[in-house]
Amino acid sequence: MDSTAHEDLLDRARAWLAQDPDPDTRAELRALLEAAEVGDADALDAIHDRFATRLAFGTAGLRGELGAGTNRMNRVLVAQAAAGLAAYIAERAGVAAAEDEGAAPAPLRPEAPVVVVGYDGRRNSDVFARDSAEIFAGAGLRAVLLPRMLPTPVLAFAVRHLSAAAGVMVTASHNPPNDNGYKVYLGGDDEGSQIVSPADAEIAAHIQRIADAGDIAALPRSLAFETAPEELVTAYIEATAAVAPAPESAEGMTWVYTAMHGVGWETLSAIVERAGYPAPIVVPAQIEPDGSFPTVVFPNPEEPGAMDLSFAAADEAQADFVIANDPDADRLAVALPDPTGGWRRLTGNEIGLLLGWRAARLAQDSDGPRGSLACSLVSSPGLQAVAEAHGLDFHATLTGFKWISRAPGIVFGFEEALGYLVNPETVRDKDGISAAVAVLGLAADARRAGRTLADLLAEFDETFGVFASDQVSVRTDDVAAVGTMMSALRAQHPESLGGVPVTQVDDLLEGVDGLPPGDVLRLWLDDGSRVIVRPSGTEPKLKVYLDVRAESAQEATERLANLADGARVLLDGLA
């Protein structure tokens, strides 16, 4: 780095320091600056990492590591994001937001757009949420802060329940402990779904304009925000308990629950009681919110070891099954006793197909309009078989519930990464709590007939065929290398995988099947298998999703293993 670039970097860091209201990040950066100014190369590298770029605002909002700088989550970045979002909301509503230097907070009008803000138990979530509420109120919006840390689905519910123009959830979901994030929902025509393009770019432009203006201390703030009444949380509890009220057969059901150090337990326990299910055996070490996540390396139920404490509790209690939420309770994991010993966590596809089958039966029995089932295009094609068997429409979408929730006529949606939308009239996003209630209902109904959730999985296979899925990937040290690999695949499609001819290749950059363009290749094989290749949205990784449909579990296992071997050979040739 030449001396001019070096000094420019330090100037940006000094300017950021001058407006930072957080004593912790100020101290962090001041120490780095003092070291860098006397020639410490490591300190200069650390400042470069924090200031050479900026956390990008996209359809997933913001998410990143906590710390000082434009490439970290902190109070400066959150204030800029809140002010930019406020300007976007005001512009969308045709009103003027107060954001000019020295401006007094805008007076609240009765017709002011409503913005509701929620937060989870991660470090600084409550601080970021209050900062946002003050800035929204200062901009003349009607800001409503949820009464305490609560699950993401409660915030998504609140956007619809309050007819809000927008909602913000401060959470990094199941990311590492030192991360946090800023997730945005829109009301009105968006019906409480997460943002999609072009809203993300429009909000990002407002945020950049605020950042370019300089000092966040000049942003109008107001303490005239509201705290949501407890009745809002009660309304979510009642609506979610109604997803699957407990039948008499639920009596005596034994199950284990873990909140994974997150915020799910308080809300879920109230719903379980309201719906009439027996209380679970909880994992005490993981039941209360703790943003340091002391008992898990990575607070994600999909990660190896994350559910070990719940399995130990289930062994001791001889439980029928285990249910886990991730830290903000928008995802759900389920585990069953393994006939060979121990516990087996069901895949997201297995849970999604069971819940989709349940939703299809309910929709078929209702007098309402014909509904639809939806899943991301990398999730199991078994959901389409369920929809067709029950006379429902089916939609495959790009990955993410921002797309799944927008499927026309949706009555159920899921994605293989443990996300399920079971109550779209209440929450237009994945909801691990309502999904847990639906699983409890399935288990209780099976129990009435002397059966288990494992029996329901076997019945699904007998009814629709065996749908088996797997995933392989290759990780690189360079994000650009992933794009290079995708380009190589587009230039030269494989003629076969695992010895099975490839009969069709769909390039979703060209907008296949009415989907928005996406960096995805979909390959169809001669035996009906499906292979999807896409870059990871969060890591420098190329991911390959494999799906087969077979007459028996043994055939499915053999074909899937062969397909996985073929995919690894393909990836080895690209890496």
Catalytic residue among 173, 372, 405, 434: 173
Q: CA angle, corner 478, sides to 476 and 480, nearest 5?
A: 115
d(CA 420, CA 358): 12
d(CA 417, CA 420): 9
Q: What is the dihedral of CA 96, 155, 169, 349, to 10 degrees?
A: -130
Tokens representing 241 are 């308990």
Say which residue the tokens 């979510």 belong to: 236
In the three-class reduction of DSSP (H, G, I as helix; E, B as strand; rest coil), residue 517 is classed as: coil
Beta strands in 70-154 (DSSP E): 114-119, 142-145
Answer yes or no: are the C-beta atoms of 194 and 185 closer than 8 Å: yes
Q: 165-176 b/e with 16+ CB inside 10 Å = b?
A: bbbbbbbbbbbe
Tokens representing 448 are 């009435």
Tokens representing 199 are 């809203």
d(CA 144, CA 258): 30
Tokens representing 282 are 């909880």
d(CA 574, CA 258): 40
d(CA 518, CA 397): 10
Residue type (1 letter), 272: V
- Catalytic residue check, 469: no
Give rounded-to-5 percent helix, strand, coil for the chain: 45, 20, 35
d(CA 385, CA 464): 7
93: nearest Cα among 182, 210, 189, 7: 189
Biggest CA-to-CA distance, the chain = 76
| DSSP H/E element including 546 | strand 541-550
Q: CA angle, corner 160, sides to 373 and 187, nearest 5?
A: 90
Answer yes or no: are the C-beta atoms of 165 and 187 closer than 8 Å: yes
d(CA 209, CA 510): 33
Q: CA angle, corner 325, sides to 119 and 233, nearest 5?
A: 45
Say which residue the tokens 């407006």 belong to: 19
d(CA 209, CA 211): 5
Answer yes or no: are the C-beta atoms of 128 and 95 closer than 8 Å: no
281: nearest Cα among 312, 308, 246, 303: 312
Residues ≥6 apart with Cβ < 8 Å to 291: 121, 122, 123, 125, 177, 261
SS (H, E, C) 330-362: CCEEEEEECCCCCEEECCHHHHHHHHHHHHHHH
Q: Burial of 2 by CB count in 10 Å (0-12 exposed, 13-18 middle, 19+ buried)?
A: exposed
Active centre residues (catalytic): 173
